[in-house]
Structure 1
Amino acid sequence: MATIEIHSAQKRYPGNVLALKGIDLTIQDGELLVLVGPSGCGKSTLLRMIAGLETISDGTIALDGKVVNDVEPADRDIAMVFQNYALYPHMSVYGNLEYGLKNRGTPRAERETRIAEAARVLELEPYLHRKPAALSGGQRQRVAMGRAIVRKPRAFLFDEPLSNLDAKLRGHMRVEIRRLQKALGATSVYVTHDQLEAMTLADRLVVMNAGRIEQVGTPYELYARPQTTFVARFIGSPGMNLVATDDLRGSSALLSPALPVRGGMIGFRPEDLSLQPIENPAISLTGRIEGVEVLGAESLLYVNGGPQIGTLIARVPGAYRSGAPLAEITLSAPMEAVHLYDATERRIN
């Protein structure tokens, strides 16, 4: 497998449009790194640059210390798995798995060995003689993965491979991809816009925004200590509640004297808002319930805190049944749960 090093990488399109703006990133040998962010943030462009499908405008991309800026995609020894499977419809599963190996001149005995192993790992053995049209979406995605695995590449690149599947199957395939990646010890870069998918798959997460990297870290690090308000809003379902301190000071909320007075933002996760009184809260405010989402084991309360604060989301255990819509409740958050950001929207605590 490979270590991938990206230094000062930029992608410039005609009209001096910068899609990527100085990306510095190292992907360690054997790790599963996930690129996540909203549509248009540059994550797929970066993946395609690693693959060689997009040229790099400035900076370098290196595999195991060798710069590959001018190396053709076929010579980078990287396998890519796409969201549309890209299977040959007229070929059987076996034929799809074998095609790339035949083109590379792999001896027949070795082809058979590699295909048998991939089929075993991916549980495709009963389907080797079927055509793609006779397979489910999940089975087709496994064939697409198998076609990459039989090549034994230096790295795997996944471009939103589960986006065409339904929610239940996506959950199952996330587990399969994670299991497979660990079993192979494969260096992998995975692109998704789904932050739940990113959180459950990644060894490390890269949150991107407008062509830049906002933050890199483990899923827990990004959830527990988001370094910018963008990451705070993006990571978490739902994201963090954020309110300008100036708006809070002008509202009826009760604030701890320890909180900053001017120019910043205060954040708190939905699960850190309590409906019960707590001792020495960082913030306490009264609002009206505008809506409730009962999710089974928990409920989300949408609470209007007034014109300065707007709508906050509280996550509470169980099915919330007390109180009708527009019922008034008091929410509190402890000091240890509060996240503070300055006027530039960067973390200060």
Structure 2
Amino acid sequence: MASIALQNIRKTYAGDVTAIHDLNLTIEDSELLVLVGPSGCGKSTLLRMIAGLESISGGTISIDEVIVNDKEPAERDIAMVFQNYALYPHMTVRQNLEYGLKNRGTARGEIDRRIANAAQILEISAFLDRKPRQLSGGQRQRVAMGRAIVREPKAFLFDEPLSNLDAKLRGQMRIEIRRLQRALKTTSVYVTHDQLEAMTLADRLVVMNGGHIEQVGKPIELYDRPATLFVAGFIGSPPMNLMPVTHLAALTGINLPANLSKQVDIIGFRPDQIVTSDGAETGDALQLSGIVELIEQVGGESHIYVRIGGLDKPLVTVLQGRPSLNEGDTLRFTVPYANLHYFNQQSGCRID
């Protein structure tokens, strides 16, 4: 177990293309930190730099307070779990688990102890004599994690390990990874583009965009108080509704407090924080109405897309159950002022 410190990390490729811009981040001892963001944001590049698989152009990386910039991957005492499992197909599960340990000259008794421990934790004891082709996708991913566990490293690095699994298996493996990390208390960095994975797994969440960190915090903090327009639109499914103040003022006559009126260009609200209404006046709430354009029934809730005159795209509301609505109906709803979020468009930052 160890902390990982990234100080002024920069990655530049030929042609003056910068993938990571002077990034600073500390992963605490025993923490599970998740890097999330769209394709090309730099999250996988950053993970590979920590692992030593990608060189850095500037800054320092420290693991357990030791600078590892010039250390080879094998010297950093980390273990990676990949998207494609990276198992040897001609070897049994047991042989896959022990391969790295044998290469390091680990004693036979210690190898057996570590394999037995990992197999018990991951519930793969019955598969030790099988080849990878005889296993399901979920079982292969457990073996890949087992190969990392037997290393007993200072840190785990997960590079989108669940991307090849179907939705049901991804849900099961999310639970297993979280349970495993809590049991082992090993510092872990996890990369994903799936915000559901990110929200449910992370002790802390890092949202990246264009090689920069947009926001770091507990998942619920990023959901409740997004620091930027990017985070507001990225975290949450469906994402936050964002409307220009000028358009909203014309529709509703909303008046912003004097200390905000010159700074705020965009107002946002979460789709699940609206209240349907019958059109009666409601104090301390924004009142809106529009035409239902699309209804998505998602199990126990419904996503209602509402077209409000003049907006480029419909607003989204989330209602519990199956409301008595049809496409083309008028939906009236309110948003309590306490649930509104204010942003400055030029800076992209939250205004409080």
Normalized against structure 2, the TM-score is what?
0.96
- CA offset digits 1:4-50 (Å, max 9, x no partner): 00001000000010000011000000000000000000000000000
Q: Which runs of 5+ in 1 are unaligned?
A: none
**What is residue 253 of structure 1 aligned with on the other side?**
252
Stretch deviating more after TM superposition (307-316 or 22-31): 307-316
Deviation at 1:274, TM superposition (A): 1.5
Q: How many angstroms apart in 2 are the aligned matches of 1:296 and 1:65?
A: 48
**How far has the Cα of 1:261 moved from its partner?**
4.3
What SS is found at the alignment partner of 1:325? coil
SS of the aligned residue for 1:306 comes to coil
1:154 counterpart letter in structure 2: K
Please list every run of 5 or more consecutive structure 2 residues that lacks an aligned counterpart in the other structure. none
CA distance in 1, matches of 2:177, 2:331: 43
Q: Is the 8 A contact 2:295 2:326 kept in 1?
A: no
1:104-162 per-position Cα deviation (integer Å, ceiling 9, x unaligned): 00000100000000000000000000000000000000000000000101100000000
After TM superposition, give the deviation of residue 284 of structure 1 in Å.
Answer: 1.3
Deviations 1:149-196 (A, max 9, x none): 001011000000000000000000000000000000010000000000
Structure 2 counterpart of 1:76: 76
Structure 1 residue 258: Cα displacement: 3.6
What is the aligned-residue RMSD (CA, Å)? Answer: 1.3
- Within the alignment, does 1:134 sit opposite 2:104 as a pair? no
- The aligned length equals 347
Per the alignment, in what secondary structure is the counterpart of residue 325 of structure 2?
A: coil
The code of the aligned residue for 1:237 comes to: S
Give the secondary-structure state (helix, strand or coil) at the position aligned to 2:102. helix
Query: Could you tell me which amino acid in structure 2 is paired with residue 274 of structure 1?
Result: V
1:174-323 → structure 2 map (5 Å cutoff): 174-250=174-250, 252-258=251-257, 260-261=260-261, 264-276=265-277, 279-308=282-311, 310-320=313-323, 322-323=324-325
1:327 is aligned to 329
TM-score, normalization by structure 1? 0.97
CA distance in 2 between partners of 1:46 and 1:24 (Å): 11
Output the amino acid matched with 1:203: D
> Partner residue of 1:63?
63
- Secondary structure of the residue aligned to 1:292 is strand
Cα distance in 1 for residues equivalent to 2:298 and 2:108: 53
Q: CA deviation at 1:310?
A: 3.4
Alignment map for 1:96-111 (pairs within 5 Å): 96-111=96-111
